[in-house]
Amino acid sequence: MLGSGQFIPGFEEQLVGAKPGGEVTVKTSFPADYPVAALRGKDAEFEVTVKEVEAPVEAAIDDAFAKRMGMSDLAALKEALRGQLAAEFAQTSRFRLKRALLDALDSGHHFGLPPRMVEAEFDVIWRQVLADQAEGGIPPEDEGKSEDELKSEYRKIAERRVRLGLVLAEIGRKHAVTVSDDELAQAMRAEAMRYRGREQEVFDQLRQSPNAQASLRAPVYEEKVVDLIFGLAQVTDKPVSKDDLLKEDDLPEGYAASEEAKPAKAKSGKAKTAKAKDTPVAPAPKAEAAPKKTAPKVKEAKAAAEPAQAKAKAEKPAPPAKAAAKPKPAKPKAKS
């Protein structure tokens, strides 16, 4: 669709005024930051045949529109949308609450960390950083920094993840939190569903891989421990505006989002480059999970006594459309 900004620069403008049946030779160049390294900065020509030209029109919101959307009538469509928004709001509210909880757990615990665990976690993060740099995916906040500076920052992230992993694991151990076989199987099915056309193949591979099962068990374990703490905490609802929940605030040092990463605000049609990839630390999983949208309420919690104290490769896009950025969690801006 012209004007959508989904094509490489200079492509859409050369199609303006074309008529059905017309043929246009589009000459342009791939941008220097194009996700496919082999095409960056390369000149290209596209032979385009215009099949059809359409213009947007305002649709009437009625029963006929609802049926085109697969609903029985307009009332059913409204109810479905209401339920979808409610689910997204609840997810965002949980994200806010969980983030506050993990920040409190991180800042409230100070103990010596196992050097090997920290080093292993750092190695995972640093390999991802080097891979991103090789692909030209350097976040703006990393530009101009020396390798020693970057390693120091990412080591703090590794330490936070290990610390939170150990704290959550200990809380879960004291309260006998476990992940059942059914819960693990459900997580495996959810993971397999991400690979369209290969669901059964991926599921079978997961069943035969103890390491893969451990990585899937970790997030389930974490969510159960977090739910446990929420159940022991005093939680109240605080009404807030949607804009307040949409507002992007600075993240604490070491914070990283999951694959469901909170979408960054676009600038000049380009997505923000993600930083460190979030990797779970056994036996506790990834630190935070981000929401899809925002909610009209955010939960505030006073932590219960004991807790308070105590990747699939992105598909290569077909030119000339821009490729979507590989979803990786963002590195924090603020330092705690």
pTM to 2 decimals? Answer: 0.57
The verdict on residue 109 lying in a domain is: yes
The verdict on residue 327 lying in a domain is: no
Give the domain range for residue 28: 12-49
The verdict on residue 333 lying in a domain is: no
The verdict on residue 322 lying in a domain is: no
The verdict on residue 60 lying in a domain is: no
Q: Dump pLDDT digits (tens) for 111-129.
A: 999 999 999 999 999 998 8
Average pLDDT along the chain: 75
Q: Dump pLDDT digits (tens) for 137-182.
A: 777 788 888 889 999 999 999 999 999 999 999 999 999 999 999 9
The verdict on residue 130 lying in a domain is: yes
Q: What is the CATH number of the domain that holds 262?
A: 1.10.3120.10
The verdict on residue 244 lying in a domain is: yes
Asked if residue 160 and residue 21 are part of one domain, the reply reads no
Angstrom CA distances, 66 to 17, 70, 84, 87, 89, stand at 33, 6, 16, 21, 23
Residue spans of alpha helices (H) in the chain: 63-68, 74-107, 115-134, 147-174, 181-192, 199-207, 210-232, 242-246, 305-309
* Number of folded domains that form the chain: 2
The verdict on residue 82 lying in a domain is: no
Is the confidence at residue 267, as pLDDT, over 50?
A: no
What is the Cα–Cα distance from 225 to 96, expressed in whole angstroms?
16
Asked if residue 92 and residue 36 are part of one domain, the reply reads no
Asked if residue 262 and residue 118 are part of one domain, the reply reads yes
